[in-house]
Structure 1
Amino acid sequence: MVETDFILTERREGYRVITLNRPDRLNSFNEAMHAELMSALLEAEADGSCRALVLTGAGRGFCAGQDLSDRVFNPGQVPDLSSTLERLYNPLVRKLRALQMPVICAVNGVAAGAGANIALACDIVLAARSAKFIQAFAKLGLVPDSGGTWFLPRLIGPARARALTLLAEPVTAEQGEAWGMIWRAVDDASLMDEANRLAAHFATQPTAGLALIKQALDVSETNDLDQQLDLERDLQGRAGRTPDYMEGVTAFFEKRPPKFTGKA
């Protein structure tokens, strides 16, 4: 276990568990936690033995978004929230999406504001049945950020996305599963067991091929069919040149489980 002021990193066989660790503030972000989380992600990315990530929160919530006490302004001062997004939140969302391994988010309790959208930036979202997702921005006169206006319409459709962002009403884990916003709602006591089970599975899979799947899905919403067919052709060519493809085919004919290395 590696512990910084606000982030815990646990190395497991083939994957890492990264825990937001400001439970007294519902794991809301200040600048220090942003820096420590990015550092933890970069370290995992550089570790060739790390083939999956689990992101979760300590205590009774996943993440309440921005710590507003970290944004105290002097009288007459005009805040520059665009700078905060450009320096901190946008790089975090981009990094989560670009990681060349599956990222599982285990949402324990509230995921509000940017915290909800950081969860949705992960590849697979599990949520405890007690969890709630809240697009809280409208309550402060703000716009959903951290990718919220991009993820939500694609996950749940434009009508639900508009209502959730304009009304700022909470969505339960079970409702989120029914709408396709998250992968699965699980019993609270089973949340981390299920997250670790998925990560352990991914740690044995063809990681380079999974990264190519992520790449194809990320652009499928904006590509037309011809563009996507061309991309699938190109990515499949790359996948077919990986050692894991040959191992998978060999294992199939030898009627044995494959032993994937995850290497490109």
Structure 2
Amino acid sequence: MSAIDQTVSYSVTGHVAEITLQRPDAANAFNLPMARGFLAAVTRAVTDDDVRVILLAGAGARFCAGGDLASMIDAPDPQAALAELADLAHQSVRVLDAAGGKPVVAAVQGAAAGIGMSFVLGADVVVAARSARFVTAYTSVGLTPDGGMSWLLPRVVGQRRAAELLLTARPVSAEEAERIGIVSHLTDDDPLVEARTQAAALAARPAEALAQARRLVRSAWSRDLSAHLDDEAATISRMVGTEPTQALITTFLRR
């Protein structure tokens, strides 16, 4: 395992890149060093040909409490500091969204708030402890969403519920988060254990099929049904002509 800017750790095991926020004493709140380290880590994972799955985690009792408000207020120019922090976080959101065939798995314990919740919403698979809590947070301190939350949350839970969660900033329990689609799997144990199992299982599946399935799901948000159907038809017909897919189909038919 290697450290990136002492705030983010990075390791690769079995084609899974594990990226862990390492400010547990500050509830893994994002400050500028962490934002830079996180961007470096996700960029490294996406560009590493040995990596097939990206796993996001937070050290300590909480996944991520959002932005580090204390560091923002103490900055000589709070507006400039927050603009830089948001820009770095948004670069990471873009990198993860465009991760190609590398599914993103998040392991959540304790609080996932603000930008922490945004990164959860951008993941493909979310494993949460029953102790986890999700909170948009921003409006409680007079701020507005960032990290793509106002774009991602309506797509995950629907516009009306997203508006309610952003306007009230009420905490969402792990059970409710699973019910409304924020969480994929709940666990009574350390969520990182189950998240590693999920990530390893994804890393063992047909890589190109996962790549194209992930691309199709994400591209569906920005185009009409007819264009999407054309893409689906072209993709599945192309895939059936590849040697790995033909081998998998042959094995399936011989069962």
* Structure-2-length-normalised TM-score: 0.91
Moved more, 112-121 or 43-52: 43-52
Contact 1:212–1:239 (Cα < 8 Å) also in 2: no
- Partners of 1:82 and 1:109 in 2: how far apart? 25
User: Counterpart of 1:197?
Assistant: 197
User: Counterpart of 1:45?
Assistant: 46
User: Counterpart of 1:247?
Assistant: 247
Q: Tell me, which stretches of 5 or more residues in structure 2 are unaligned? A: none
Deviations 1:197-219 (A, max 9, x none): 11111111112221211111112
User: Counterpart of 1:186?
Assistant: 187
Give the aligned length.
253
Moved more, 161-170 or 48-57: 48-57
User: Counterpart of 1:7?
Assistant: 8
User: Counterpart of 2:167?
Assistant: 166
- Partners of 1:141 and 1:81 in 2: how far apart? 16
User: Counterpart of 1:54?
Assistant: 55
Contact 1:7–1:37 (Cα < 8 Å) also in 2: yes
User: Counterpart of 1:229?
Assistant: 229
The reply on whether 1:175 has 2:176 as its aligned counterpart is yes
2:222 aligned counterpart, secondary structure = coil
Q: Post-superposition shift, 1:251?
A: 2.1
User: Counterpart of 1:143?
Assistant: 144
Judged with a 3 Å threshold, the aligned counterparts in structure 2 of structure 1 residues 241 and 41 are, in CA distance, closer, same or farther, namely farther
- Partners of 1:201 and 1:60 in 2: how far apart? 26
Q: Post-superposition shift, 1:119?
A: 1.1
- Partners of 1:132 and 1:108 in 2: how far apart? 8
Moved more, 230-239 or 136-145: 230-239
Q: In structure 2, give the amino acid aligned to 1:62.
A: F
- Partners of 2:19 and 2:86 in 1: how far apart? 23
Q: In structure 2, give the amino acid aligned to 1:96.
A: L
Deviations 1:49-106 (A, max 9, x none): 211121110001001111112213578x571477336621211111111112111000
Query: Which structure 2 residues correspond to residues 12-31 of structure 1 after superposition, within 5 A?
Result: 12-31=13-32
Q: Post-superposition shift, 1:117?
A: 0.8
User: Counterpart of 2:70?
Assistant: 69
Judged with a 3 Å threshold, the aligned counterparts in structure 2 of structure 1 residues 174 and 122 are, in CA distance, closer, same or farther, namely same
User: Counterpart of 1:32?
Assistant: 33
Taking only aligned residues, the RMSD between alpha carbons, in angstroms, comes to: 2.0
Judged with a 3 Å threshold, the aligned counterparts in structure 2 of structure 1 residues 74 and 35 are, in CA distance, closer, same or farther, namely closer
- Percent identity over paired residues: 36
Q: Tell me, which stretches of 5 or more residues in structure 1 are unaligned? A: 256-264
Moved more, 237-246 or 111-120: 237-246
Q: Post-superposition shift, 1:48?
A: 2.0
1:178 aligned counterpart, secondary structure = helix
User: Counterpart of 2:88?
Assistant: 88
2:131 aligned counterpart, secondary structure = coil
Judged with a 3 Å threshold, the aligned counterparts in structure 2 of structure 1 residues 74 and 37 are, in CA distance, closer, same or farther, namely closer
**Aligned structure 1 segments of 4 or more residues deviating by more than 6 angstroms:** none
